[in-house]
Structure 1
């Protein structure tokens, strides 16, 4: 597979990436959550690349759980509101850190150590904490939702499945692989794979931390530090396929709306997987269709735009590469690199034309591709005291069901704090990607 690249030269505070045309100097704003004075814009905007859906009005910051009083700030045409409260003040017996966050049905699921805290996102209240009695499961690394169930990935090599009750409590209903699935496989020797010297495991088992989950239709894809990718049926919890996908730990996985799986690894590569029918069989299996090699260090995070034709990848090399499909996922090209973070990229999330990135430099950046094809950093959000590990998003609905072009962005970090940034843009926002 051929991959051609175009990387722009960027300053330390902002970046433009493009597949053609001249460079411009975009607008970059920086906001701090720990100040009460007005914060001015850090650079001037360009007249060449003004977007039709740029940031328009409010940026507000909250910290879960909510505190009644808010302090209003008004830098230029953007407002910043701050609440100060730490998640460590909740029912925790030890220091906490945010591993992963996800939003489902107006609930924010925040994996904090070996526990999962569930918040109502409308009023920022804690409604449930589960997995607290299973300390031996280790840290929760990922959360996914499929077929009305909640799937969680754990450090003890297991995937657990939960059901939400009518009282907004979570009940454990399965642990993957299930005993039934193990029983089907344990007799035959060909169902075992060598995981290290003098030790074998069933091919349906992960033998290291399950680091990520992704959902497509009725299937769940899991990745692990054991270098494997596994596919699970959500209906009966059966493992249908296992692939040795990389040469090192797999850190990120995402599935496009047409079922193509992207995996990012510590081996510096991104691999692209798609199903194809087996000869003389009705079933389909995943096979490798492309390997993307442009990062200089481990790939930590992946995100797709809503159309599924642009892939963003964040790495320890401090860059975010932008990959675009030309004709199919078999052929993807680098159309730019977003630089500005001073340390490793740890998380990415795409919302319509906006990309949000969290980094070990303790900041969140908002990027946008303009109508002229250029990427720019619109805003730098300074609020956390430790690396930003996870991001999640939820569209805000007003009376009548209209989101009004507003979105909530949740950022969680190793300081055990979750901040909620309210972003309003001109025009309506399409469904979250």
Structure 2
């Protein structure tokens, strides 16, 4: 029996076993009753929010996609489509062209809620509450999809079944083969070149899979003391994991395995979301303590990763409840919260300018659970104007489509 704290999206302060007595899939009916009085104090780090705005943003909600029968838990974007995953295991695909369709075609359904989605070429990869990872591929021009693989693959399962060395202790007096996740797969990430797939789980482990044939290459067991809620990989290969144990860990691949190079301890409650800047130098972390911490990666300058460390430079504050999701696009940071709102942040031209909250997007009637964003125009230059499309999924069973136009004053 597991006695780890529950990893419900709004931190219900029960043990996982207590929460599971109420529901087999204990995120199917998330509580929205978290009050400010029950939340931890904000971390003792300086605020980076600046009242001086060097930018302005015009925003408009273009559409609300409501054809979901349960809450929207994950989003992914391809060049032409938006994919949405729901807590009942259903995956839908929506064309991104305007006017937006009010009905999304069903890609497929697993037996557990969809926790994360990523796009790899012509394949869609989904992580599920039932401990599995599924690979979907379009089978013809009619926009129909087929599940072409379930991870771990049959070959991985068979080869590990008969070897005693393949079994690891996952709980007290319980063992499983190392290629299996034994709790919900909470997050997926891809390496910069798309050759590796990373999966994180509430079983406290994360695994690395070869994308060409989905063979499990490595499993980091007991990577954290509690459930892992988020995993991201920077363009230069650093892997970050955020956990219910309030920490973020930094990993780097050395030879054929990943090694821990830093443990970040500033949050006062479970870490729910991570995002990394496009140049890989800045990490953003969101937690139930209502703060978004900004970390900068430092090294000794001679390429020795053992000397790498991260320092927290401050926090983005403004949300009144738990941070549920984060996304980075160009020089923007977007955050979704249990307070039902999204916030759009932009870093100033000078380091002393900090970050400005350019907009608060309101319209959802329940917590915002997931985000996806795409930029059009010259968003890489902080002196240029550009626009982006933002997609937000919520516990109110809807996805909202927002258009942002960012201008430099």
TM-score range (shorter-chain normalised) is: 0.7 to 0.9
Once the 2 structures are TM-superposed, how far is the Cα of residue 128 of structure 1 from its aligned partner? 2.2
Is there any run of 5+ residues in structure 1 with no aligned partner, and where? Answer: 10-15, 18-23, 27-45, 66-85, 278-283, 428-433
Partner SS for 1:100: strand
Q: Are 1:63 and 1:417, in contact at CA under 8 Å, matched by a contact in 2?
A: no
Q: TM-score, normalised to structure 2's length?
A: 0.81
**1:8 counterpart residue number:** 46
Q: Deviations over 1:375-405 (max 9, x none)?
A: 121211111100000010123479xxxx971
**1:379 counterpart residue number:** 359
Distance (Å, rounded) in 1 between the aligned partners of 2:297 and 2:80: 33
Instruction: Pick one of 273, 276, 288 that aligns with 2:254.
Output: 276
Q: Are 1:6 and 1:336, in contact at CA under 8 Å, matched by a contact in 2?
A: no
1:55 aligns with 2:56: yes
Aligned 1:165-204 pairs, distance under 5 A: 165=139, 166-204=141-179
Q: Are 1:87 and 1:418, in contact at CA under 8 Å, matched by a contact in 2?
A: no
Distance (Å, rounded) in 2 between the aligned partners of 1:214 and 1:154: 14
Once the 2 structures are TM-superposed, how far is the Cα of residue 367 of structure 1 from its aligned partner? 1.0
Q: Deviations over 1:88-109 (max 9, x none)?
A: 4xxx4xxx10101111122111
**2:113 counterpart residue number:** 139
**1:243 counterpart residue number:** 220
Cα 1:324–1:6, aligned 2, differ >3 Å: closer, same or farther? farther
**2:291 counterpart residue number:** 319
1:224 aligns with 2:204: no
1:412 aligns with 2:390: no
**2:134 counterpart residue number:** 160
Cα 1:198–1:418, aligned 2, differ >3 Å: closer, same or farther? same
Aligned Cα root-mean-square deviation (Å): 2.0
Deviates most, 337-346 or 147-156: 147-156
**1:307 counterpart residue number:** 279
Cα 1:394–1:262, aligned 2, differ >3 Å: closer, same or farther? same
Q: Deviations over 1:270-300 (max 9, x none)?
A: 00110112xxxxxx21110111110000000
Distance (Å, rounded) in 2 between the aligned partners of 1:63 and 1:298: 32
**1:267 counterpart residue number:** 245
Distance (Å, rounded) in 2 between the aligned partners of 1:378 and 1:341: 14
Distance (Å, rounded) in 2 between the aligned partners of 1:395 and 1:334: 27
Distance (Å, rounded) in 2 between the aligned partners of 1:100 and 1:369: 26
Distance (Å, rounded) in 2 between the aligned partners of 1:6 and 1:117: 42
Aligned 1:23-62 pairs, distance under 5 A: 26=51, 46=52, 50-51=53-54, 54-56=55-57, 58-62=58-62
**2:335 counterpart residue number:** 357
Distance (Å, rounded) in 2 between the aligned partners of 1:112 and 1:63: 19
**1:151 counterpart residue number:** 125
**2:266 counterpart residue number:** 294
Once the 2 structures are TM-superposed, how far is the Cα of residue 145 of structure 1 from its aligned partner? 1.9
Instruction: Pick one of 82, 85, 96 that aligns with 1:121.
Output: 96
Distance (Å, rounded) in 1 between the aligned partners of 2:210 and 2:60: 40
Q: Deviations over 1:110-155 (max 9, x none)?
A: 11121011111112224521223x4xx2100001122432110011
Aligned pair count reads 346
Larger radius of gyration: 1
Q: Are 1:301 and 1:313, in contact at CA under 8 Å, matched by a contact in 2?
A: yes
**1:100 counterpart residue number:** 74
Q: Deviations over 1:46-102 (max 9, x none)?
A: 3xxx43xx235x31103334xxxxxxxxxxxxxxxxxxxx334xxx4xxx1010111
**1:392 counterpart residue number:** 372
Q: Are 1:6 and 1:334, in contact at CA under 8 Å, matched by a contact in 2?
A: no
Distance (Å, rounded) in 2 between the aligned partners of 1:289 and 1:390: 29
Is there any run of 5+ residues in structure 2 with no aligned partner, and where? Answer: 1-42, 379-383
Once the 2 structures are TM-superposed, how far is the Cα of residue 250 of structure 1 from its aligned partner? 0.2
Q: TM-score, normalised to structure 1's length?
A: 0.76
Distance (Å, rounded) in 2 between the aligned partners of 1:164 and 1:395: 25
Q: Are 2:188 and 2:198, in contact at CA under 8 Å, matched by a contact in 1?
A: yes
